[in-house]
Amino acid sequence: MAASNINWKRMKDAAVVVQLGKELRRMRLERNQSQAEVAERAGLDRTTVVKLEAGRAATLVTVVQVLRAMDRLELLDAFHPEPQPTPYMLVEAQTQYLKKQRKRAGRKQPDVTPPKPKSTW
C-alpha cells in the first residue's frame, strides 16, 4: 500500500479492515479496473469484491485472490522481511574477521651470535 499517515496501531480491528478495503478500492481504481473485472480475474463474485472494499469481513484467501487479480502480490513481501543479523551473529562475524586478519610482523631482532674463540692451533 502507498505510504500514508495512517496510524494502524491506534485503529481497532474493524477499522483496520475498513481501511484495508478502502486501500484495495484505491488500488483497483488506480489500475482503472472495475469491480467486475477484478472479480472475474480473481474467480470471485462481484458482490464479494464489493463487500471486501466496504470493509466487511473477508477471508485471507479472498484478499490474496484480489491482490493477485490486480497484480499486487508484492505487497505481501512486508510479511517476509529480509532477516536481520542477531547480536550473536554479529559477534561471530567479527570474531571470524579478526581471525582472518594478518598478524603484523614484529621487529626482527638482529642475529647476534657470540664471537667464536680463536683457535690455539
Kindly tell me the burial class for residue 33, based on how many C-beta atoms sit within 10 Å of its own C-beta (0-12, 13-18, 19 or more): middle
pLDDT computed for residue 1 by the predictor: 45
Under the banding of pLDDT at 50, 70 and 90, the label for residue 95 is: confident
User: In this predicted structure, which of 5-14, 46-55, 96-105 has the lowest mean pLDDT?
Assistant: 96-105
pLDDT, averaged across the chain:
84
E-only strand ranges, the chain: none
Model confidence, pTM: 0.62
Grid cell, residue 42, equals: 480473481
Q: For the residues 30-58, what does the mean pLDDT come to?
A: 92
Give yes or no for residue 103 having a pLDDT over 80: no
Give yes or no for residue 99 having a pLDDT over 80: no
Element containing residue 90 per DSSP (H, E): helix 87-100
User: In this predicted structure, which of 7-16, 22-31, 50-59, 74-83 has the lowest mean pLDDT?
Assistant: 74-83
Query: Tens digits of per-residue pLDDT, 107-116?
Result: 666 666 767 7
**Closest CA relative to residue 68, chosen from 57, 76, 79, 56:** 76
The class (CATH top level) of 8-79 is: mainly alpha
> What is the rounded CA–CA span in Å between residue 29 and residue 50?
13
Q: Answer for the pair 20, 66: CB distance below 8 angstroms, yes or no.
A: no
> What is the rounded CA–CA span in Å between residue 28 and residue 66?
9
